[in-house]
Amino acid sequence: MTAPLYLDAAATSAVRREVLEAMWPYLTGDFGNPSSHHGYGESAARALADARATVAAWLGCRASEVVFTSGGTEADNLALKGIALGAVAADPDRGRHIVTTPIEHEAVLASVDYLVRRHGFEATMVPVGRDGLVDPADFSAALRPGTTLASVMLANNEVGTVQPVAELARIAHDNGTPLHTDAVQAAGWLPLDVRALGVDALSVSGHKLGAPKGIGALFVRSRLPLEPVLHGGGQERGRRSGTENVAGAVALATAARLSMAGQERAAAAAAAARDAFIAAVLTEAPDAQLTGHPAARLPGTASFVFPGTNGEAVLLELERRGIVSSSGSACAAGSEEASHVLLALGYDEELARTAVRFSWGSEVTAGQLAAVAPAVGEAVRTVRGLAG
């Protein structure tokens, strides 16, 4: 039986064999706690330091500026809560104001909501256009003197739109405001050099680029005060307590190193295949609408709304045809509410519920994608026929 074609990489990727092989020793013989002062602990500590150096090289920062976390959600929480509360602790008279967008990942939006409800912050949401892009002029207008923090994701997890983060960082810094970016979806596709991006904090998650679930990292610029979210033994230079996940850190570092090799070439090939796939789907399903920006988008993401259907029903029809995809963010799976991202882009609730997202890694070929488009057309027509 042929395995289904997996087009839900934005939800999670398979663990790469090289990553499994690299982390295996630290799940078996070298299982020590890196805080222990004996051979087992020292071996683990060396592996952790090497992994931190590799991730730092990937992100273009100092090793001391890398904080290992349990994933992207924790990294976002630590960035938003840690930087905001750290700023208030350092200067109690500083204004409590955060700027973000309505299309951020739930980890960012929920953290902002927590700061508003529990710590008296105000939040300004910068609107996005129909294509999901933030207008730098709107972003600038949202900032105030003393704005505590701004957070704008590098690439959207549902529609794939890539934001002009470097430009937004310059605008934020002109206002004296640090900028955080959630780069979870961009990892593996786009360069994440924090010096080129100009950001003060950046979140990544291992399971989007071939490492297992349960490991992520936050870059946070050394000059920024950071209030810990987790308290305990003071690991990660006091910024994130808890016995370090050495095997996970090694896995993330290995996945990062592999992603850097040939990334530009792989992204260009994937983008060409993506554009051909988008054109084919719009031909096979003429009423379909591409969501997100037509060009400023991730190489491995294409999402559509199919009027007159139900997104979940289309997914079931696609799976019957050997294609696995999703209706949007896996973190919101099971929710009956329409996508907050599509609503922010201006889609009404009925149309937003027809969304289907296709996302893939560099291992998916242009030929495989080309074969998907006719199946999409068939699935859409079948669902519409059932509805009629």
CB-CB contact of 101 with 157 (8 Å): no
Query: How many Å apart are CA 150 and CA 124, to the nearest integer?
Result: 9
The residues near 196 (Cβ < 8 Å, ≥ 6 apart) are 60, 166
Contacts 24+ apart (CB under 8 A), 312-318: 313/383, 313/386, 314/354, 314/356, 314/376, 314/379, 314/380, 314/383, 315/356, 317/378, 317/379, 317/382, 317/383, 318/356, 318/375, 318/376, 318/379
CA 47 to chain centre: 26
CB-CB contact of 351 with 305 (8 Å): yes
- Whose tokens are 């591409």? That residue is 290
Instruction: Specify whether 331 is catalytic.
Output: yes
- Whose tokens are 């078996």? That residue is 28
* Full DSSP string of 272-308: HHHHHHHHHHHHHSTT-EEES-SSSB-TTEEEEE-TT
**Helix (H/G/I), strand (E/B), else coil: 35:** coil
Among 49, 295, 331, 386, the one annotated catalytic: 331
Please state whether beta strands 97-100 and 149-151 pair in parallel, antiparallel, or not at all (unpaired): parallel
CB-CB contact of 235 with 243 (8 Å): yes
CB-CB contact of 352 with 338 (8 Å): yes
Q: Which residue numbers are catalytic?
A: 331
